[in-house]
Structure 1
Amino acid sequence: MSLKPADKNPQHLHQSNGIVLDSAYQGIDEAGWLSLFQQAKNAHLKQFIADLFGGKHINNSENRPALHSALRNLDKSPVIVDGKDVMPDVAEVWHRIEALCNKWVGVTDVIHIGIGGSDFGPRLAIEALAHIPDIESRGMRMHFLANIDTAELARIQQRALPHSTRVIIVSKSFTTLETTKNAKAIVRWLKDSGRTESQINNTLFAVTANVPAAKEFGVKEENIFPFWDWVGGRYSVWSAVGLPIALQYGFDTFKEFLSGAQAIDQHYQSAPLEENLPVIMALTLLYQQQKHHIKSFAVIPYADALDWFPKWLQQLDMESNGKSVDRDGKPVKYSCPVVFGSSGSNAQHSYFQLLHQGTEVIPIDFIAIREPMSHLPEAKEHHRILLSNCLAQAQALANGKKTDNPNNTYPGKRPSNLLILPKLNAFYLGALLALYESRTTTLGALWNINSFDQPGVELGKVLAKPIEAALKEGNPVQANGNIDAITAARINLFNH
């Protein structure tokens, strides 16, 4: 990658909106970068980005757009989908969210019921923003109910106060098994706590694309926030799915969250490929696939506030790009690696042994924040130690160490990026999530994979129905068209 003579920045250093990306430890030389950018051009990446933001039916398998960017289009510039500008509908939802923020009084607990994309985004945001010093908060207890395991349900019922609780049911289809079962259980708990049917109806809110199903469940129409088919679940935190963010921290904070994401959208659309942060992040991973045939990727945020970030990214990456065929149904050479991670420096005491000396090369994104996340007297010193560990681990992984003792030898040449945020607030949290969203969709374009469907999650759901029926009946089971011999034997283990 060539630089203009007047450009004083090293070729591995890139910035946007105060965010710095340093790819120096990727080991990519100028010829390597030239090859990567040529691959991006061969994949018609600029046209892909234009189609993505332009409302084209880029989700070809489901014949619909992927327009999560419209949800943070605060300028309200027209976004045309099939001849219609969707921004008036989006803006109406913003207005309703703001009105609800001003309306809720005396609420102690909010139970947010949803799973997958209806859970990870708002859960991450609520957790991350709670760590920001001096953030204005209404102090409500936010409970996230996702798992069908009743342990989570029981814990929430023990902690929440039913007479001052509000319930948000989030499901695009309003048919998701875990969500509907948990919602019915919460309604039963409210009834058992002495709430009348009228009071319960005023307690329930829904975020869905299936308004009739939400009304049939008992949610009042004025408490239903719409969701559109051009919003994928894992890209949906910017919609009313992110309602808990606004309710807890105020609508202005929610707008700041959207604003950070919009800033990255604008950068992604306008920056040349050679200066485009999401594109460069995607190309570094593609390079390591081509060079080292990597199968795993780690993201390590050196901020306890972002401990949920790797879990959010796991769904975003692996549900989007975990495919074995491309858009044309042909086998792919590369697709999404396994994604894992947790907050540093805890991660160092968990699996960094494998990262340093394991047989597999695993690229890493280190995420660091310039400012401490508290006002404690120890904050600056602790933060300095935190950052020194982040930088030291990247250096050790890249350079390694040779000794006469094989047990103390570090092979090095383990690639990593360093992403630096000026601070962690709603703006930069939104920017961070949007940055990785665009990185994910860029990788999909480079691999010619549709990043906006997830057919692989359906088979297990279908097979679970006859298995659940067999477990309910409790009778001995034989293999049949729906249940194989091994699963039949396992059902019998549970039934007897």
Structure 2
Amino acid sequence: MTSRPLQNPDNPTNSTFTAVDVVLDTAYQHIDAAEWKKLFSVAKKSKVKEFIADMFAGKHINFSEDRPALHSALRNLPKSPVFLDGIDVMPAIADVWRRIDALCNKWVGVTDVIHIGIGGSDFGPRLAIEALAHVPGIESRGMRMHFLANIDTAELARILDRAQPNSTRVIIVSKSFTTLETTMNAKAVVNWLKDNDCTKGQITNSLFAVTANVPAAKEFGIEEDNIYPFWDWVGGRYSVWSAVGLPIALQYGFKTFEEFLAGAHAMDLHFKNAPLEENLPVIMALALLHQQQKQGITAYAAIPYADALDAFPKWLQQLDMESNGKSVDRNGKPVKYSSPVVFGSTGSNAQHSYFQLLHQGPDIIPIDFIAVRKPMSERPEAIAHHRILLANCLAQAQALAHGKTADNPNHVYPGNRPSNLLLLPELNAFYLGALLALYENRAATLGALWNINSFDQPGVEYGKVLAKPIEKALVSGSDPIQANDDIDAVTAARINLLNS
């Protein structure tokens, strides 16, 4: 776990940092030595180092909910003590690991697993399952893993058309076990099992839950032995390391799940212990802050040059924008900066989509280019194809950084478009875990720099509250709906349109 401090950004050999064999190259950020010095001073004034220590120590840094943010404990494989209000949380976490390992050895003859959850209960495990499916030679247990998140029955129908009811297992994932989309989809799947003549005993044995609300899961009809807990000090978007990641172990074996946790833990140790000037999550956070302050950027793109990471930008959108999309700081004062808009998709596909805007649009949009040294297949064409893939990645970064002059204005590239290059040695469970933890820790660092709480999401709730009276009005059929305290005139008109 080594890193090299940046001394002269104009010299590309001094712009690279390494942690857990993941390389970060900031050469195209166009940040000179004096600017880096100022940025690290900002980090020190913002007490980033103290914030990191408090996070790992279990301090209640989620001040609005009076909770710690201890997701790092979920990947603490050495089981070194982690205290929450004087109580070591590691024995309870280790017990969940033991139960997950035991369950992996019990499931024989299962053809389909339906994982029901939305948001943080969906993005992480879905990303991991899809990414690891591309690892050459990875051992899969043969079962089909289905992810059901959307309340739109199109997704439900597609899954149920494929699954075999008598050999299906259902995992219902909800921290509160009250999430509307999840509970409605779970009830629909249970009805499907009943409609396909599954007995009450078969259904009971098929249902599993991952939740912080064990009583609600029991009330739903899930046996206590089939309930896997996680805790209120784990935010949903940080929960893939908990039993929420159960599909990873079930699909690829508990050892693969451990490797996933180990990669994240290794990145945590780097984040916790490395000096700010050599700390990958901190450097990435400061580079983004710099682009906000100097260029006024309001968006950035994450472009993984690896088809296996197709779901990564969706996971990252929730991580960054739900964590740091805030209008007030920790003191209730309006913020100057918070999360930019995050978007992205896989390269080189993205080059044929929106890269025209990135190169010649009026807005400057930084990019994180993510590349993998080794090809993700064992096809005879793999080396040649991968060489072209990497060439495209490097070429796009160079073109964006330097631009191009021409007599024809239509052919001018302004340049000065900042980017990072993240280079993974290969894509497997370990490095996937390290990559996700790197971005989690960067999000936390940005929260510290912006003086906002990265671990609550009050804005998510308001729309859910408004949806309830609207849904009741839609149930009323063709009766005219009038504007009232819960429904404004525009929405009332739209309800009447739908009911007509």
TM-score (norm 1): 0.99
Q: 1:196 to 1:3 in 2, by over 3 A?
A: closer
Matched, 1:251 2:254: yes
Q: Does 1:319 align with 2:322?
A: yes
Q: What is the letter of the counterpart of residue 267 of structure 1? A: H
Question: Which residue of the partner structure matches residue 188 of structure 1?
Answer: 191
Shift of 1:50: 0.3
Specify whether residues 113 and 294 from structure 1 end up closer, same or farther in structure 2 by C-alpha distance, changes over 3 A only.
same
Match of 2:497?
493
What is residue 464 of structure 1 aligned with on the other side? 467
Q: Does 1:331 align with 2:299?
A: no
Code of the residue aligned with 1:340 in structure 2: it is F
**In 2, Cα distance between equivalents of 1:441 and 1:415:** 22
CA distance in 1, matches of 2:5, 2:166: 64
Cα separation, 2, equivalents of 1:389 and 1:239: 37
Contact in 2 for aligned 1:146/1:178 (Cα 8 Å): yes
Query: Is 1:380–2:383 an aligned residue pair?
Result: yes
- Measured in 2, the distance between the counterparts of 1:457 and 1:447 equals 20
Quick one: distance in 2 between partners of 1:160 and 1:35? 57
Deviation >2 Å, runs of 4+ = 1-5, 8-11
The answer for the alignment partner of 1:305 in structure 2 is 308
What is the CA distance between 1:12 and its match in structure 2?
1.3
Give the distance between the partners of 1:150 and 1:142, measured in 2 at CA: 18
Structure-2-length-normalised TM-score: 0.98
Distance in 1, Cα, partners of 2:186 & 2:420: 42
**Cα deviation 1:185-241 (Å, max 9, x = unaligned):** 000000000001111010000000110110110110000000100000000000000
Between the aligned partners of 1:112 and 1:74, the Cα distance in structure 2 is: 25
The residue that corresponds to 1:162 in the other structure is: 165
Name the SS of the counterpart of 1:61 in structure 2.
Answer: coil
Q: Distance in 1 between matches of 2:328 and 2:277?
A: 28
Alpha-carbon distance in 2 for matches of 1:367, 1:281: 13
Partner of 2:141: 138
Kept in 2: contact 1:115–1:146 (CA 8 A):
yes
Letter matched to residue 177 of structure 1: L
**What letter is aligned with 1:232?**
G
Determine the structure 1 residue equivalent to 2:19.
16
Distance of aligned partners of 1:101 and 1:456 in 2 relative to their CA distance in 1, 3 Å threshold: same
**Whole-angstrom CA distance in 1 between matches of 2:328 and 2:68:** 20
Aligned match of 1:426 in 426, 429, 434?
A: 429
Q: Is 1:241 aligned to 2:251, yes or no?
A: no
Q: Is the 8 A contact 2:6 2:16 kept in 1?
A: no
Q: Which amino acid aligns with 2:432?
A: L
AA at the equivalent of 1:214: A
Cross-structure match for 2:62: 59
Q: Distance in 2 between matches of 1:171 and 1:11?
A: 45
Q: Runs of 5+ in structure 2 lacking a partner?
A: none
SS at 2:197's partner residue? coil
**Among residues 464, 471, 484, which one is paired with 2:488 in the alignment?**
484
- Residues 333 and 4 of structure 1, relative CA distance in 2, 3 Å threshold: closer
The 5 Å alignment of 1:133-282 reads 133-282=136-285
SS where residue 336 of structure 1 aligns?
coil
Determine if the alignment matches structure 1 residue 448 to structure 2 residue 451.
Answer: yes
Cα deviation, 1:348-398, whole Å, max 9, x if unaligned, reads 000000000001000000000000000101000000000000000000000
CA contact 1:2–1:30 (8 Å) conserved in 2:
no
Deviations 1:4-56 (A, max 9, x none): 89xx9833110011110000000000000000000000000010000000000
Partners of 1:461 and 1:197 lie apart in 2 by 33
> Using the alignment, how far apart are the partners of 1:11 and 1:217 within structure 2?
57
The superposition leaves residues 107-134 of structure 1 with CA deviations (integer Å, 9 ceiling, x where unpaired) of: 0000000000000000000000000110
Q: How far, CA to CA, are the matches of 1:204 and 1:328 in structure 2?
A: 44
1:349-364 pair list within 5 angstroms: 349-364=352-367
Give the equivalent residue in structure 2 for 1:340: 343
What displacement does 1:139 show? 1.6
Distance 1:409 1:229, change over 3 A: same
Q: Which one-letter code corresponds to 1:338 in the other structure? A: V
Contact 1:268–1:278 (CA under 8 A) maintained in structure 2: yes
SS at match of 1:142: strand
Matches of 1:13 and 1:2 in 2, distance apart?
8
Q: For residues 441 and 406 of structure 1, what CA distance do their matches in structure 2 show?
A: 42
Amino acid at match of 1:483: I
State the Cα deviation string for residues 89-120 of structure 1 (Å, max 9, x = none): 00000000000000100000000000000000
Q: Secondary structure at the match of 2:337?
A: coil
**Cα distance, 1:3 vs structure 2:** 6.0
Q: Classify 1:189/1:64 alpha carbon distance in 2 versus 1 (closer, same or farther; 3 Å).
A: same
Distance 2:6 2:335 in 1: 33
Q: Could you tell me how far apart the structure 2 residues matched to 1:355 and 1:153 are?
A: 37
Matched, 1:78 2:81: yes
Partner Cα separation in structure 1 for residue 190 and residue 364 of structure 2: 49
- The equivalent of 2:123 in structure 1 is 120
- CA distance 1:438–1:180, shift in 2 (3 Å): same
| 2:428 pairs with 1:436 | no
Give CA-to-partner distance per residue, 1:404-451, whole Å, 9 cap, x none. 101010000000000000000000000000000000010000000100
Conserved 8 A contact 2:6-2:277: no
Unaligned runs of 5+ in 1: none
Residue in 2 that maps onto 1:46: 49
